[in-house]
Amino acid sequence: MLTAAAIAQLLIALAFVSIPLVRHRYGAAAKAAAEAELNRQGVRPGVLAEHGMRFDAGGHETWAPLFFALIMTALAALNLAGNPWGETLTWIGQALILLVNVVILYSNLTAAKGVEAAFAKTGDPELARIDVRRFLSAAEGAFPRWVMPWLQNARHAIVFGGSILVVVALVAA
């Protein structure tokens, strides 16, 4: 049963790695589309960079998913090796991964509201007048159709379904 848990953990790791890979490949196009939309809205160039908004694989969009992929890979290795620490650490690690994915899912579902709130916090009147939904839609449109919602939903299904499989395997072990 621990082998099944380890395989699920490796699939979860791959799901997390897909985030920076896709952002690395298509992030520049998303940034260009977002900036073109801002230009249509009469917002000056560079406002995104000034406020740290990115669509590429930089910053936490790379280190966070890779960190969680590393956790899942390490736990899978322990479980495949039959190390007794594997089971104990998997309970902790899998709970962490589930919580993280819930936060990611919530962030995906409330992206427009979150960006609007972040822009409002800056007090910058230029940011306050941005039509955030059109801005985000333009950025999302630069990604291939298979990314949103297909890859995004597949990733969530793998993380949630894989985590359930891991827990069932631990209980059965």
For residue 7, CA distances in Å to 20, 156, 158 come to 21, 16, 11
- Dmax (CA) for the chain in angstroms is 60
* CA separation for the pair 107, 9 (Å, rounded): 23
Q: Along the chain (173 residues), what's the average pLDDT of each consecutive run of 10 residues?
A: 94 95 93 94 85 80 93 97 95 96 93 91 88 94 90 95 96 89
Check if the beta carbon of residue 155 is closer than 8 Å to that of residue 15: yes
Backbone torsions φ then ψ of 130, nearest 5 degrees: -70, 135
H or E element: which one contains 118? helix 111-122
Query: 3-class SS at 144?
Result: coil
**Which pLDDT does position 161 carry in this prediction?**
97
Look up residue 72 and give its two tokens: 């899942």
Q: Residues 37-41: contacts with CB within 8 Å, 24+ apart?
A: 37/134, 37/135, 37/137, 37/138, 37/139, 38/130, 38/135, 41/129, 41/130, 41/131, 41/134, 41/135
**Which pLDDT does position 132 carry in this prediction?**
93
**Which pLDDT does position 27 carry in this prediction?**
92
**Which pLDDT does position 76 carry in this prediction?**
98
